[in-house]
Structure 1
Amino acid sequence: MSDDDGVRDGNAPDEEEFDVGLLEEELRAATAILDPVPSALRQLAVEAYALHDLDTRIAELTFDSLVDALPVRGAADVPRMLTFRAGELTVDVEVTEDGLLGQLMPPRPARIEVLSGPHAGVPLTADDLGRFAGDAPPAGPFALRLRTGGDVVVTEWLRA
């Protein structure tokens, strides 16, 4: 049964069916011209994919002073204390308005990057006692990527 509007039984139009693949291709081309992906976002996607490494371990957040600590009455500008754990490695981090301080336990030297959005990671170095410091506090979501020997550990992402 056919209606005057060219629809049979409420399903498909009488006209020849259009090619979905061609439509998708045309929409992608239009989007690339009218709303291209910003290069910073493209770089962030590449870096996020680079984190998808089977050898990378995720350090789980086990303590956050914003959630787990009891507030101290009258205390202002209290640093945020974070503890991450990946197997035998513990990463303690103190975040203040002046920057961040941290220590790896058991102590070991490491190269550390403070990952924050589309920007390149801020490089830090942990000394032989596992201590590290950064002069700038993380802004927005951040994570730490640690390279110790052949191991790569990435902390969970948190909002500063």
Structure 2
Amino acid sequence: MSGAGDMNDGTAFDEDLGDGLLEEELRQAATVLDPLPPALLQSAVDAFALHDLDARVAELTFDSLVDAIPVRGVTDAPRMLTFTAGEVTLDVEVTEQGIMGQVLPPRPARIEMLGGPQAAVSLTADDMGRFTADTPPRGPFALRLRTGGSVVETEWLRA
């Protein structure tokens, strides 16, 4: 005697197979009708290539856009950012003219300003940990700091 809830006739398997075929057809249609923009694909590839398992992520601990008290009359104040990863602190000032910052405790370092599909801008911090770039970040950006054997990457922010 077969009840209404008896699924031994293969119906569930056929539905799963049909769902899989439908999903594949929808993926193909989306690829043709709404292709992934090349710049977005390159950004995704670049972001994956930037992934470094040995890197520590520096947490944003201060952002003047969020944490500072506005000063009356000042309309184009620089954006001040502080990132922290363990004993390393990275203070950064972002303006329309570029960025400048300091690694604390002071030490020489190589710094890369990452900017999505744009090529990374290489910077060098001096013995006092100071660095500058004449190019301001445009769009999302992050900083990668290499000092000694350690790598620290900041969170990504929008300029």
Q: Secondary structure, in 3 states, of the residue corresponding to 1:114?
A: strand
For the 8 Å contact 1:62–1:83, the answer to whether it is kept is: yes
In structure 2, the partner of 1:122 is 121
Q: Give the letter aligned to residue 105 of structure 1.
A: L
Instruction: Render the CA deviation track for 1:1-24: whole Å, top value 9, x for unaligned.
Output: xxxxxxxxxxxxxxx756222222
Distance 2:55 2:99 in 1: 23
Q: Give the letter aligned to residue 153 of structure 2.
A: V
In structure 1, the partner of 2:53 is 54
TM-score, structure 2 normalization: 0.79
Identity %: 72
In structure 1, the partner of 2:28 is 29
Is 1:85 aligned to 2:97, yes or no? no
Instruction: Render the CA deviation track for 1:36-68: whole Å, top value 9, x for unaligned.
Output: 222221221122223443311111111112222
> Over the residues paired in the alignment, what is the CA RMSD in angstroms?
2.2
Runs of 4+ in 1 over 4 A off after TM superposition: none
For the 8 Å contact 1:101–1:133, the answer to whether it is kept is: yes
User: Mind listing any 5+ residue stretches in structure 2 that lack a counterpart?
Assistant: 1-13
Aligned pairs for 1:106-121 (under 5 A) are 106-121=105-120
In structure 2, the partner of 1:155 is 154
Q: Give the letter aligned to residue 148 of structure 1.
A: T
Post-superposition shift, 1:96?
0.9
TM-score, structure 1 normalization: 0.79
Instruction: Report how many residues are paired.
Output: 147
* Higher helix proportion: 2
User: Mind listing any 5+ residue stretches in structure 1 that lack a counterpart?
Assistant: 1-15
